[in-house]
A and B are shown apart, each in its own frame.
Chain A
Amino acid sequence: MKTKSMKKKIFTLLLAACMVFAFGLSACSDGDAGAGGGGGGAGVTGDFSQPARDLSKGPIKIAFVPLGASGPTMPTAMRGYYDALGGEDNGIFTIDVFDSQFDTTKQIQIMQDLITQKYDAIILEANDPNAVNDVIHDAEVAGIPVITRNMAATGPKIAHGLNSDYRAGYEAAKYIQANAGKADDANVVILDVVPELKPTTRMGTGFEDYLKENTSWNLLETQPVTDTSQENGNTIMSTLLAKYDDIDIVYTVNDDVAVGALQAIESAGRENEGIVIWGYEGHPLALQAIKEGRIYGTSFCDVYKQSYSTMILIQYLMQTGITAANLGMEYTPLIEYSTVPTVQGNIDEVLSAAGVKLE
């Protein structure tokens, strides 16, 4: 009776609206890739003449867009940048930090904003290798050199500082195999990032690849740790300890999780089983534990040196006005900042070399 027909009418109306909407949308977008449109893709060349900058005068604004604007390594990174620019109050250069909070859309919005505000250089930690290509391309077209760090981005850009995650994982596995003296069929557990961040934070993948290719270790499990936080690392590690009797190697995606895993092992009373824990990046708590021999080692990123050298490179690029676009580069020049495998043995000299002191 009445309501039944009304229901059918509303549903057909809805469906029709969808069809019209869909076709309408795609019709108006069938045009060519469009100058401003997406789909930049690799290998676009064009004349991007850009005047060389005289770095001695005028305010020069440099933007640093990390994945997450906090973390134990932030202060050292900023110190590295400012030292390369001649101290915080050098009067010419200013550095602004934009926190993208691990959100790709936000990162792209920030980048576009920097272009409109005509920043002079951008240091970017990409949140998604493919999503940022177009916006890097726009920046380069606008004559702003973009250096990406840690997470790779597939499109071409002036330089990519690669103390990358993948390599750190790969090297860590190699170092452990060579020096930790673990049996060939050692049991391995990886505490990795949550699925969403897997494409960009690839230490776990690097460690796993090395493990599969050159060792006969037995990978028990890979567990994601939400927010890579210390307490979640602690909980998940203690569950794994309950699940497996003998765990030989624990590879963690960062030092917070490593310290968490250590706490789990100690509260389970299994600290004397010689479980090798390997972290990443070199946070103060982990470095202290390494000194005391409770954590086997970590891939120490000499953040200070990396940021110092990155800033020197940027000054050079700004001065010469070179960008990947105007050089017509097809690929991205890679600058490898190798992470330094740091263990109890070499920790003192590594820290003194990096100018980091454990107060």
Chain B
Amino acid sequence: MVLKPKTIRKLITIGLVIAMALLFGMSTESFFTVRNITMIFRDASYVGIIALGVSFVVIGGGIDLSANGIVCFVGMACARLGVLAGFPAPVIVIVGLLAGALCGYLNGLAVTRLHLSEFITTLASGYIFAGFAVFLVFRENGNVASAAVTNKAFLALGGHIPHTYIYISSVVWVLLAIVVYIIQTKTKFGLHTVALGSNPKSTMMSGVDIDFLKLIGFVLAGLFCGIAGIFQVAYQSASTLTLGDSMGFQAVAVCAVGGVVLGGGKGDAMGAFLGALFMVILLNGLYKISPSPSIQFIFQGLIILVAIFFDTWFNRMMEKKLFSDAVRKRKNQTPLGAVKAEG
């Protein structure tokens, strides 16, 4: 059965993740404990859920750097509602989701209607959504203060599934990864997004409404940032303005490590999922080897570089294979002499 290039790429990433886990597992004994594994999955779920959302935009050939603003804004909105004990948990969650989706919608409008460049617009909208969060922050006589979220049911979201060590957010992350994978590979919307990323001209010529595709991509990215924001606030049981710091760039880096490369058309939800897992295992493992943050930063940078180099090389190989056929330009045919040469 001929393997799709994408599956080859993913098998290799899975291999890397397992290899790294084994490496860390041997060097420190506290790596392969149940508690540590569940913690890895919980840490990975926050940036992972965001990466799933951002992967829609990146596969469609764009980029979304506003994750830190959206996570902070949604977190603060839920904390606001969470403090007023009266609100039932589902209402808080719905408000959070809608807030995230709304931010994504605004991004989408700016890109499709105003034709602004995606890179700088989402970078700026990150600041703007963080500004919304400052608007909602708790204040004691004028000074920003922190207030504990008291809504029990909502807080439980951030904790374990009762009687187990597994965190709700990691389970939701795995489920969402599967759902997003299905959307991206099975539904019409998903196929059109890949087509848009890989060959925009022919997608447009096949009568696909490109603006609508991009808009939905951004709305989903915003929605997933909202989900991540909800889980983080529930876990922290208080919302500070530092929520979601540098998530915008992290999410894009995680996607890139997972094969969902800028430029579009490449990679899918599984890649984003593996990228997140890869990064968090790296950090968690490095932690155990040497607690000093400098080593972690250096390795985090190097690993991203290696992943990107590998990815660029892999894609070049695929292209080289295609062009080698075309380059052998046609040699001329049998002389026409064979044709009746008379008058």
Q: Digit string of B290-303 for contact with A (CB within 8 Å is 1, else 0)?
A: 01110000000000
Contact B234 A38 (CB under 8 A): yes
Given the complex, which residues of B lie within 8 Å of A10, measured CB to CB? 189, 216
Given the complex, which residues of B lie within 8 Å of A208, measured CB to CB? 143
With contact pairs A96-B291, A99-B293 given, residues A195 and B157 touching in the complex (Cβ less than 8 Å): no
With contact pairs A116-B35, A128-B236 given, residues A29 and B156 touching in the complex (Cβ less than 8 Å): yes
Complex CA–CA separation, A7 to B148 (angstroms): 41
Given the complex, which residues of B lie within 8 Å of A353, measured CB to CB? none
Complex CA–CA separation, A58 to B46 (angstroms): 38
The answer to whether the Cβ of A46 comes within 8 Å of any Cβ in the partner chain is: no
Given the complex, which residues of A lie within 8 Å of B216, measured CB to CB? 10, 14
The answer to whether the Cβ of A239 comes within 8 Å of any Cβ in the partner chain is: no
Q: Digit string of B147-166 for contact with A (CB within 8 Å is 1, else 0)?
A: 11000111111111111110
Contact A37 B145 (CB under 8 A): no
Complex CA–CA separation, A14 to B100 (angstroms): 13
Contact A34 B160 (CB under 8 A): yes
Contact B153 A28 (CB under 8 A): no
Given the complex, which residues of A lie within 8 Å of B94, measured CB to CB? 18-19, 22
Interface residues of A in 91-109 (CB under 8 A from B): 96-99, 101-105, 108-109
CB distance from B276 to the nearest CB of A (A): 15
Contact B46 A36 (CB under 8 A): no
The answer to whether the Cβ of A131 comes within 8 Å of any Cβ in the partner chain is: yes
Contact B242 A26 (CB under 8 A): no
Contact A25 B245 (CB under 8 A): no
Contact B245 A103 (CB under 8 A): yes
Across the interface, A22 reaches (CB within 8 A) one of B90, B143, B245, namely B90
Contact A196 B46 (CB under 8 A): no
Residue from the set B157, B219, B237, B240 with the largest chain A CB neighbour count within 10 Å: B240
Contact A25 B152 (CB under 8 A): no
Complex CA–CA separation, A195 to B93 (angstroms): 26
Complex CA–CA separation, A127 to B241 (angstroms): 12
Q: Which residue of B lies closest to A108 (CB)?
A: B236
The answer to whether the Cβ of A270 comes within 8 Å of any Cβ in the partner chain is: no
The answer to whether the Cβ of A292 comes within 8 Å of any Cβ in the partner chain is: no
CB distance from A34 to the nearest CB of B (A): 5
Across the interface, B158 reaches (CB within 8 A) one of A21, A38, A101, namely A38
Q: Which residue of A lies closest to B160 (CB)?
A: A36
Complex CA–CA separation, A198 to B36 (angstroms): 32
Q: Report the tally of A-B residue pairs with Cβ distances under 8 A.
A: 161
Across the interface, A112 reaches (CB within 8 A) one of B39, B90, B189, B227, namely B39
The answer to whether the Cβ of A33 comes within 8 Å of any Cβ in the partner chain is: yes
Q: Digit string of B29-47 for contact with A (CB within 8 Å is 1, else 0)?
A: 0100101100100010010
Complex CA–CA separation, A189 to B88 (angstroms): 44
Contact A7 B212 (CB under 8 A): yes
Contact B157 A26 (CB under 8 A): yes
Q: Which residue of A lies closest to B169 (CB)?
A: A25
Contact B134 A195 (CB under 8 A): yes
Across the interface, B30 reaches (CB within 8 A) one of A96, A116, A129, namely A116
CB distance from A68 to the nearest CB of B (A): 10
Complex CA–CA separation, A175 to B299 (angstroms): 48
Given the complex, which residues of B lie within 8 Å of A128, measured CB to CB? 146, 236, 238, 240
Complex CA–CA separation, A147 to B165 (angstroms): 26
With contact pairs A25-B168, A34-B156, A129-B146 given, residues A195 and B241 touching in the complex (Cβ less than 8 Å): yes
CB distance from B287 to the nearest CB of A (A): 6
Complex CA–CA separation, A23 to B33 (angstroms): 32
Given the complex, which residues of A lie within 8 Å of B232, measured CB to CB? 105
With contact pairs A29-B156, A105-B232, A195-B137 given, residues A14 and B293 touching in the complex (Cβ less than 8 Å): no
Complex CA–CA separation, A11 to B96 (angstroms): 17
With contact pairs A25-B168, A39-B155, A96-B291 given, residues A14 and B36 touching in the complex (Cβ less than 8 Å): no
Given the complex, which residues of A lie within 8 Å of B155, measured CB to CB? 37-39
Interface residues of B in 250-292 (CB under 8 A from A): 284, 287-288, 291-292
Contact A69 B236 (CB under 8 A): no
Contact A25 B172 (CB under 8 A): yes
The answer to whether the Cβ of A134 comes within 8 Å of any Cβ in the partner chain is: yes
Contact B223 A31 (CB under 8 A): no
Complex CA–CA separation, A154 to B189 (angstroms): 49
Across the interface, B145 reaches (CB within 8 A) one of A26, A101, A198, namely A198
The answer to whether the Cβ of B98 comes within 8 Å of any Cβ in the partner chain is: yes
Across the interface, A104 reaches (CB within 8 A) one of B144, B168, B172, B236, namely B236
Given the complex, which residues of A lie within 8 Å of B241, measured CB to CB? 195-196
Contact A103 B189 (CB under 8 A): no
The answer to whether the Cβ of B58 comes within 8 Å of any Cβ in the partner chain is: no
Contact B159 A38 (CB under 8 A): yes
The answer to whether the Cβ of A30 comes within 8 Å of any Cβ in the partner chain is: yes
Contact B163 A29 (CB under 8 A): no
Contact B156 A37 (CB under 8 A): yes
CB distance from B45 to the nearest CB of A (A): 12
Contact A116 B39 (CB under 8 A): yes
Contact B156 A38 (CB under 8 A): yes
Contact B234 A116 (CB under 8 A): no
Contact A18 B223 (CB under 8 A): yes
CB distance from B290 to the nearest CB of A (A): 9
Q: Which residue of A lies closest to B167 (CB)?
A: A36
Contact A34 B172 (CB under 8 A): no
Contact A3 B242 (CB under 8 A): no
Contact A26 B153 (CB under 8 A): yes
The answer to whether the Cβ of B235 comes within 8 Å of any Cβ in the partner chain is: yes
The answer to whether the Cβ of A246 comes within 8 Å of any Cβ in the partner chain is: no
Given the complex, which residues of A lie within 8 Å of B245, measured CB to CB? 103
What are the nearest 8 A-B pairs in CB distance? A37-B159, A199-B146, A196-B241, A130-B148, A198-B144, A29-B156, A130-B238, A26-B89
Known A32-B162, A38-B234, A130-B237; further 14 A-B contacts with Cβ < 8 A: A14-B220, A14-B223, A18-B101, A29-B168, A31-B162, A33-B152, A34-B160, A38-B155, A96-B291, A98-B291, A116-B33, A116-B35, A117-B30, A127-B242
Which chain A residues have a beta carbon within 8 Å of chain B's beta carbons?
Answer: 3, 7, 10, 14, 18-19, 21-23, 25-26, 28-39, 69, 96-99, 101-105, 108-109, 112-113, 116-118, 127-131, 133-134, 154, 195-196, 198-200, 204-205, 208
Q: List 8 A-B contacts (CB under 8 A).
A: A14-B101, A25-B168, A29-B153, A35-B162, A37-B156, A99-B293, A105-B243, A131-B237
